[in-house]
């Protein structure tokens, strides 16, 4: 069965909803619990230096968690963007197809006039007017295709970013919840601190790497943008940024009463 754009968008919406859920759990459950542990009295007696060290570790983990949470929240703003981009990319592909149909319909073999008319005006029409319009329609199709490719590419890169983010958040919450439970029980504090002190910063680094990859994706998007501009603003097909305008006076003379023969001559 073909994997439609709707299936693709639905899959992404599920990923996005899950990221929202996990982000909320991070913000509303894990962070308050780690904050609680970092400030509440420890339920057991330890040398002050050890207590201070534990508190420092918890505080550091808390800051890292808050950093991750703020980054995720920031990125969630762009969550709906790829959906709109994919829908638009699909529309641009249709526009590109329509432009190709226009260019195809205007080809010599698909028009009735070339087989029936000759003469100065007919020649101008065939050699100057029609080719300019076909070239413009062809360029339009290429531009629409370039826009569709750019939108698809950017959408995919954002979607992949969120898929990666979802995996990291799931990992983070599992580690965090496990460590908090272990810590609160008072058993296995070193293991819990190891999880909070080492694993969480590692995930923070991975989130930062993911963000960097997304930033590189943005750089590539700029290249696509330049390509779109080049095609839409192509000066050879769209002189002065305008659709080529064939002056009707160059090929509209069918009169025989103006002193010269008609510029449209029937082929016998």
Partner 1 sequence: MTQPTPDVIEVAKDALYREAGLWDEQVGRLSDCAFQAEHSIIDLYDVVQFNDFLTGYNEVTRVFARLCTQGSLVTRDVAQTLRTVANTYEETDDSLRAQFDHH
Say how many CA atoms lie within 13 Å of 118 toward its Cβ.
3
Q: How far is CA 9 from each of CA 81, 144, 161, 177, 211, rounded to the nearest angstrom?
A: 11, 21, 15, 31, 22
Residue 248 in contact with partner 1, rule: CB under 8 A:
yes
| 3 vs 242 by CB, closer to partner 1 | 242
Residue closer to partner 1 by CB (options 6, 116) is 116
Residue 22 · residue 170 · CB < 8 Å: yes
Contact track, partner 1, 160-189, x by CB under 8 A: ------------------------------
Candidates 30, 136, 166, 207; binder of partner 1 (CB under 8 A) is 136
Among 61, 62, 137, 159, binds partner 1 (CB under 8 A): 137
Alpha carbon distance 183, 66 (integer Å): 19
- Give the nearest distance from C-beta 202 to partner 1 in angstroms: 23
Whole-number Å distance between alpha carbons of 221 and 243: 27
Is 7 or 73 the residue whose CB approaches partner 1 more closely?
73
The single residue among 21, 105, 191, 239 that binds partner 1, judged by CB under 8 A, is 105
DSSP alpha helices (H): ranges in 43-129?
48-76, 81-105, 120-124
Count of Cβ atoms closer than 10 Å to residue 109 Cβ: 7
Between CA 79 and CA 87 the distance in angstroms is 14
Spatial neighbors of 95 by CB under 8 A, at least 6 apart, are: 140, 144
CA distance 89 to 60: 44
Residue 266 three-state SS:
strand
**What is the Cα–Cα distance from 174 to 191, expressed in whole angstroms?**
14
**Tokens standing for residue 146:** 């370039």
Residues in 25-54 that interact with partner 1 by CB under 8 A? none
Pick the closest to residue 144 from 46, 227, 80 (CA basis): 227
- According to CB under 8 A, which one of 49, 77, 235, 259 is a site residue for partner 1? 77
Which one, 151 or 179, has the nearer CB to partner 1?
Answer: 151
Compute the distance between CA of residue 43 and CA of residue 52 in angstroms, rounded to an integer.
14
Does 1 contact partner 1 by CB under 8 A? no
> Is residue 98 a contact point for partner 1 (CB under 8 A)?
yes
Which range touches partner 1 (CB under 8 A), out of 34-42, 61-69, 182-190, 243-251? Answer: 243-251
Binding flag, residue 68, partner 1 (CB under 8 A): no
Q: Is 202 in the site for partner 1 (CB under 8 A)?
A: no
Binding interface with partner 1 (CB under 8 A): 74-75, 77-78, 80-81, 84-85, 88, 91-92, 94-95, 98-99, 101-102, 105-106, 110-113, 115-117, 121, 129, 133, 136-137, 140, 143-144, 147, 150-151, 154, 158, 214-215, 218, 221-222, 225, 228-229, 232-233, 238, 241-246, 248, 251-252, 254-257, 262, 264, 266-268
């Amino acid at each position: 069965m073909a994997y439609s754009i709707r299936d693709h968008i639905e899959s992404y919406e599920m990923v996005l909803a899950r990221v929202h859920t996990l982000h909320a759990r991070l913000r509303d459950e894990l962070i308050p619990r780690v904050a609680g542990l970092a400030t509440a009295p420890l339920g057991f007696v330890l040398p002050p230096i050890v207590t201070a060290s534990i508190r420092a570790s918890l505080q550091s983990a808390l800051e890292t968690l808050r950093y991750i949470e703020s980054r995720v929240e920031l990125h969630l703003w762009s969550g709906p963007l790829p959906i709109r981009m994919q829908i638009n990319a699909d529309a641009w592909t249709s526009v590109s197809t329509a432009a190709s149909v226009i260019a195809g319909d205007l080809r010599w073999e698909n028009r009735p006039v070339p087989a029936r008319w000759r003469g100065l005006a007919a020649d101008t029409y065939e050699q100057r007017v029609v080719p300019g319009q076909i070239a413009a329609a062809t360029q339009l199709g290429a531009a629409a295709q370039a826009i569709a490719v750019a939108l698809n590419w950017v959408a995919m890169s954002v979607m992949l970013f969120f898929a990666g983010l979802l995996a990291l958040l799931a990992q983070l919450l599992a580690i965090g919840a496990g460590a908090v439970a272990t810590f609160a029980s008072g058993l296995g504090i070193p293991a819990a601190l190891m999880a909070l002190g080492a694993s969480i910063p590692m995930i923070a680094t991975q989130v930062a790497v993911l963000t960097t990859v997304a930033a590189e994706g943005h750089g590539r998007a700029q290249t696509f943008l330049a390509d779109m501009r080049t095609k839409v603003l192509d000066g050879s097909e769209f002189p002065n940024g305008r659709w080529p305008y064939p002056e009707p006076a160059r090929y509209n003379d069918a009169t025989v009463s103006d002193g010269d023969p008609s510029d449209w001559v029937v082929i016998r």
